[in-house]
Chain A
Amino acid sequence: MSRVAALLRRDLARLLLGGRGGGALLPVLFFLSVAMLYPFAVGPDAPLLARTGGGVIWVAALLAAILPLDRLVEPDIELGMFDQWALRGISEELVIAVRVIAHWLSFGPPLMLAALPAAALLGLDGRTLGIVEVGLLAGTPGLAALGVTVAALTAGLRGGAALSGLLVIPMAVPVLIFGAGSLGTGGTSGLALTAAASLVLIAIAPFAGGAAVRAARG
């Protein structure tokens, strides 16, 4: 258990606090700037903003989740960290599972907090904001798992960062459809399906990511 704690502590120091990479601050600022730009682009039409704002928050959250992908897995392969972990009997699956948790902690809760001012900028009512927040809680863990999986798959490829963004977007469509769709129906079934899509991605991530890291090692 102390190994998991040590791994999680290092991951959080790198992803949440950041250092040179900017940590959790950069995705949050990106997310807020999209929410701020949208009213400028479509004009001060309050009913239109209120109707479409929830969906904009979801798209902004998805794009913000893509930002840190290039520093999720590849630096550790280049540094030889995965080799040293393997020699100590720490499996790639465990490392990837811990990294999913750390990646989610570094962008999920911060985005849920940032959704409050974003909702104010877009003029969302309280009920819509509630659905957005619960939807983000259900959907962002899946986005985190997907991000780590794709980062592991593209590690070591030329142009891997751009490629991973392109790969994440189509695979995030189920989470986006159910998450943003729950705004339209207002029901809990959309939120439940968002959580279900998230769980599938979380269940796959350690094994797909671990296999990808081993393959990249060659």
Chain B
Amino acid sequence: MNAEKQMATTPKITMRDVKKSFGDKKVLDGISLTVAPGESLVIIGGSGSGKSVTLKCILGLIKPDSGSIMIDGKETTGYSSAERDAMMGKFGMLFQGAALFDSLRVWQNVAFGLIQGRKMDKDQAHEIALQKLSQVGLGRHVGDLYPAELSGGMQKRVGLARAIATNPEIIFFDEPTTGLDPIMADVINDLIVDCVKDLGATALSITHDMASARKIADHVAMIYEGRIIWYGKVSDLDHSDNPYVDQFIHGRADGPITKNATFKAA
């Protein structure tokens, strides 16, 4: 009973005081956050605030200078490359530019994690790939095309199909709607919500698109200058009493967050 309760409350992702600098530039200045199983957390923040680096630290693509990152309660910062490869089996990731392998056909892209990562039989992986493609609204014929022959929106969908192909426990979305028209952006948002629910997965997204954040988030964390300055339920976003959050969600140029962009002479 006790152990069961313990299992249920172990957060999927825990970051504690994670710091990272590139040269003299402090990008992460003590990030702490937790994501519970089955929860969808969206990190919002401006360009250059440290969102992408946070994500890449959790994935292990960037090594933090200090702090602790735990997945399912296990410390990952000291992992060897073999342990890391194994950990990646739990993850799926949708990249900002989709990051499809341009030398492979669409279905091979979707099946990549199954064939190369899990050594699945090719025909079986092909079937699963086509099934995942239809889940994101793409027909069988798309599977035989090359990524360069697809539009941006279709590439994102293929990227999503690839991210969910291995039925991951945790899915990361890096600016899922950037570069898409508003309708396609909403389609992608719907797909993300459906896929995450369908898999019962935990989701961590970063975005600066508030429409997207409102749609896919359970909780929202706002990052500014390498720190989490606000965390709360998505329903509390509009009455956060936080001037930074207020400025960001309303997209105002004036406020505590300054971009130092002006034509006027100082």
Do the two shown chains form a genuine complex with each other? no
